[in-house]
C-alpha cells in the first residue's frame, strides 16, 4: 500500500466549539512522509508550523490542543484528525486562520463528506504502520479510568463510559477497518451535561456550543434536550475522539484499544507510555494484507450514514 493525500484542497469555516471565534481552515495535499501539519495563517509567527504529533500536545482539557515552542496553538484538533483517519488520508497541510478548528456540527461528518467528495490520490511511497508488540496501559487510580493497547492484527476498539442518566453506562466494541470509522463513528457529536454549561462558560469553554453541535443531556429530567443521531452517540463520540488522538502517533496503529471512562488526556498518555520503551512497538511497512484492513481503506461517500 502506498501513502495517500487529497486530490484537491478543501476548505471549512465556522466557530470554534470552545472559543466561539470564527476560523477558516483549508486542507491541502502534501508530499509523501509529510504526515499531518497545521499552519497558523493569522499572525506574524516566527514558526507557524505545528506538526500533528503527541509530543506537541500542550493541553487536553475538553479537547486536544497542539502547540510549538514559539507558543503557536491550535485547539480542538481531534475531529478533523479523526476525519483524516476515517478517509485514509496520510499526508496533509492544514492552513488555519484562527486559534481553533471549526466545530461545524460537533462531529467529523462534514470533514469526512468533503474529503470523500474531492477524492484521494495514491503517492509513490510505502505506508508504514506501528505494530504494538505488548500490552501498554495508562490508568488513573482515583477514578478507575484506564486505556490499554494490546497487540492485534487490525485496529479494534472497545470503549465504556459512565455518566448520569439518560446516558448511564454505554459500551461499544467495533473493528475499525475500511470504511467503518465513517459508518459507525464519524457522525457522532460531542456531548455534555446541561448542568455543566454555565460552569464551562465561566472557564472560557463551550462558547461556540449550541444545540446543533452538542448533544445535551439533562440529569433532572433524564432526557436529551434534542434527539440523538444514534442510541450510542455518546460512546461513539468518545471513540471518534480516540481515533483522532491516536493518529498523533504519526502512523496507523495496529492494536486493540480498550478504554474505560477516559478521554483526551488518557489517549495521549497511553501514546507516551507506548513510545517510552522501544520494546513496546515496531514501525514497519504495511503488507498488502494489513493495508487492506487499515481505517479509511476503500471508504466511500455511501458509507456516511443518513441523519
DSSP 130-150: EEE-S-EEEEETTTTEEEEEE
Q: Which of 18, 237, 264, 265 is catalytic?
A: 264
| Residue at a domain's end among 126, 158, 184 | 126
pLDDT given for residue 232 in this prediction: 96
DSSP three-state, residue 213: coil
The CATH number covering residue 10 comes to 3.30.230.20
229 and 203 assigned to the same domain: yes
Rounded to whole angstroms, how far apart are CA atoms 115 and 79? 13
Is 264 among the residues known to form the active site? yes
Torsion of CA 58, 64, 66, 72, to 10 degrees: -90
92 and 205 assigned to the same domain: no
171 and 142 assigned to the same domain: yes
Residue 165 has pLDDT above 90, yes or no: no
Neighbouring residues of 275: CB distance < 8 A, sequence distance ≥ 6? 54, 249, 281
- For residues 85-98, average pLDDT: 97
74 and 204 assigned to the same domain: no
Looking at the structure of the chain, the number of domains it has is: 2
Rounded to whole angstroms, how far apart are CA atoms 150 and 77? 25
Is residue 306 very low, low, confident or very high in pLDDT (cuts 50, 70, 90)? confident
Write down the pTM of the prediction.
0.96
pLDDT given for residue 141 in this prediction: 86
pLDDT given for residue 289 in this prediction: 86
164 and 298 assigned to the same domain: yes
| Residue at a domain's end among 100, 126, 152 | 126
Q: Which residue range is the domain that position 292 belongs to?
A: 129-303
Cβ atoms of 91 and 120 closer than 8 Å: no
pLDDT given for residue 266 in this prediction: 97
pLDDT digits (tens, 9 = 90+) for 31-79: 999 999 999 999 889 999 999 999 999 999 999 999 999 999 999 999 9
pLDDT given for residue 247 in this prediction: 98
Amino acid at each position: 500500500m502506498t501513502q495517500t493525500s487529497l486530490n484537491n484542497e478543501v476548505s471549512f469555516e465556522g466557530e470554534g466549539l470552545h472559543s466561539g471565534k470564527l476560523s477558516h481552515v483549508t486542507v491541502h495535499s502534501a508530499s509523501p512522509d509529510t504526515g499531518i501539519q497545521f499552519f497558523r495563517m493569522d499572525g506574524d509567527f516566527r514558526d507557524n508550523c505545528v506538526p500533528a504529533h503527541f509530543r506537541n500536545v500542550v493541553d487536553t482539557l475538553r479537547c486536544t490542543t497542539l502547540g510549538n515552542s514559539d507558543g503557536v496553538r491550535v485547539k480542538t484538533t481531534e475531529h478533523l484528525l479523526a476525519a483524516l483517519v476515517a478517509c485514509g488520508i496520510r499526508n496533509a497541510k492544514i492552513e488555519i486562520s484562527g486559534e481553533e478548528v471549526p466545530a461545524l456540527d460537533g462531529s467529523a461528518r462534514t470533514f469526512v463528506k468533503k474529503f470523500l467528495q474531492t477524492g484521494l490520490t495514491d503517492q509513490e511511497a510505502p505506508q508504514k504502520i506501528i505494530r504494538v508488540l505488548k500490552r501498554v496501559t495508562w490508568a488513573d487510580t482515583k477514578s478507575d479510568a484506564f486505556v490499554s493497547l494490546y497487540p492485534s492484527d487490525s485496529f479494534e476498539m472497545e470503549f465504556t463510559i459512565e455518566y448520569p442518566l439518560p446516558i448511564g453506562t454505554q459500551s461499544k466494541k467495533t473493528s475499525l477497518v475500511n470504511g467503518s470509522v465513517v459508518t459507525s463513528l464519524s457522525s457522532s457529536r460531542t456531548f455534555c451535561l446541561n448542568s455543566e454549561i454555565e460552569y464551562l462558560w465561566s472557564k472560557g469553554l463551550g462558547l461556540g456550543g449550541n444545540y446543533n453541535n452538542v448533544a445535551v443531556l439533562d440529569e433532572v429530567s433524564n432526557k436529551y434536550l434534542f434527539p440523538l443521531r444514534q442510541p450510542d452517540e455518546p460512546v461513539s463520540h468518545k471513540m471518534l475522539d480516540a481515533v483522532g488522538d491516536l493518529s498523533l502517533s504519526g502512523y496507523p496503529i495496529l492494536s486493540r484499544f480498550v478504554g474505560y471512562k477516559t478521554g483526551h488526556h488518557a489517549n495521549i498518555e497511553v501514546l507516551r507510555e507506548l513510545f517510552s520503551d522501544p520494546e513496546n512497538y515496531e514501525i514497519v511497512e504495511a503488507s498488502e494484507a494489513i493495508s487492506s484492513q487499515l481505517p479509511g481503506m476503500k471508504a466511500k461517500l455511501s458509507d456516511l450514514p443518513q441523519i
